[in-house]
């Protein structure tokens, strides 16, 4: 997994008088922008035009926004982006046939199927039908297996965990994770499990907390690094956090305020937790921007590897 160099402008510190420690509010937008600039530079040096195919089935409003943002970022990076908008009643076989054609298209280096899919389509079957070398979401068993065993030189790593590692390194340094106790709250295949694998590769001692864990708060309080990915608004409270910890909030939840308005919040009670931490990601503006930037990095890596393979075979 390639790690993009980061600029010195990636962080912003909060000077709130209510804070008992000067917490750094990690600027995910800036770190993501640094990754994108690295992708643009590497693409130009490699003299390659990566092809990214994005498949959207149905008319889910949030999914449509995500897909548009991904396609726009791909074009910004100089990629050839193709978007396939399929009706909500598209059959699973039709999606599989489209993926098969994209697997065989040498101009396409990355394939992304936007989730969730309509109920008549088995997401598992669809994801596993993508050629592993084009699986830029990093969900294929071959990629997850390589990640779990530490063989990431030619693996495609899930974007959100990969971005979260970048954010942690942006405040702790690439060499300072070794020996730290990291607690991952949540065990999903998309974030929790790959996040734990990435932290292990950084020589952290890793604990995964989930719904059946006894005394989760007590365990979390031991952590130097906390990664929250449970999908429950403000789930992680102040008394779960050790003084000076680094907190990465992967959650993004829409709630209704007392005034009847809606707003986005994370899985961490940000306003109260920030008084104890050394660094924390906000929601929005933290992990979210990193996901698309890491998708671009994965697509470029896939294209460069594909070009190298063609060169060796010719």
Q: Cite the active site residues.
A: 70, 114, 137
Could you tell me if 273 and 280 are in contact, meaning their C-beta atoms sit under 8 angstroms apart?
A: yes
* 211 labelled ligand-binding: no
For 155, the token pair is 């693996």
Other Cβ atoms closer than 10 A to 97:
12
Could you tell me if 28 and 287 are in contact, meaning their C-beta atoms sit under 8 angstroms apart?
A: yes
* 217 labelled ligand-binding: no
* 310 labelled ligand-binding: no
* 186 labelled ligand-binding: yes
Q: 248 forms bridges with which residues in the sheet?
A: 227
List binding-site positions: 186-188, 252
List binding-site positions for NADP(+): 186-188, 252
């Amino acid at each position: 997994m390639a790690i993009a160099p980061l600029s010195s402008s990636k962080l912003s510190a909060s000077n709130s008088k209510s804070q008992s420690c000067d917490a750094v509010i990690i600027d995910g937008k800036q770190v993501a922008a640094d990754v994108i600039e690295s992708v643009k530079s590497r693409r130009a040096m490699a003299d390659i035009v990566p092809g990214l195919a994005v498949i959207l089935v149905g008319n889910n409003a949030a999914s449509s926004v995500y897909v548009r943002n991904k396609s726009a970022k791909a074009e910004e990076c100089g990629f050839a982006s193709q978007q396939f908008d399929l009706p909500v009643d598209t059959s699973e076989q039709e999606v599989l046939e489209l993926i098969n054609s994209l697997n065989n298209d040498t101009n396409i280096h990355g394939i992304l199927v936007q989730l969730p899919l309509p109920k008549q389509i088995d997401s598992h079957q669809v994801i596993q039908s993508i050629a592993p070398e084009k699986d830029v979401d990093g969900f294929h068993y071959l990629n997850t297996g390589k990640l779990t065993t530490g063989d990431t030189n030619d693996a495609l790593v899930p974007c959100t965990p990969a971005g979260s590692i970048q954010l942690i390194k942006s405040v702790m340094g690439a060499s300072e994770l070794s020996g730290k106790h990291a607690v991952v709250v949540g065990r999903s295949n998309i974030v929790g499990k790959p996040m734990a694998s990435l932290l292990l590769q950084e020589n952290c001692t890793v604990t995964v907390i989930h719904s059946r864990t006894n005394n989760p708060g007590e365990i979390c309080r031991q952590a130097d690094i906390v990664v929250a990915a449970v999908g429950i608004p403000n789930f992680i409270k102040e008394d779960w956090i050790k003084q000076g910890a680094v907190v990465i909030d992967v959650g993004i939840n829409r709630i209704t305020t007392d005034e009847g308005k809606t707003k986005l919040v994370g899985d961490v009670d940000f306003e109260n937790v920030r008084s104890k931490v050394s660094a924390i990601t906000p929601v929005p503006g933290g992990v979210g921007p990193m996901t698309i930037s890491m998708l671009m990095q994965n697509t470029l890596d896939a294209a460069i590897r594909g070009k190298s393979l063609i060169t060796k075979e010719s």
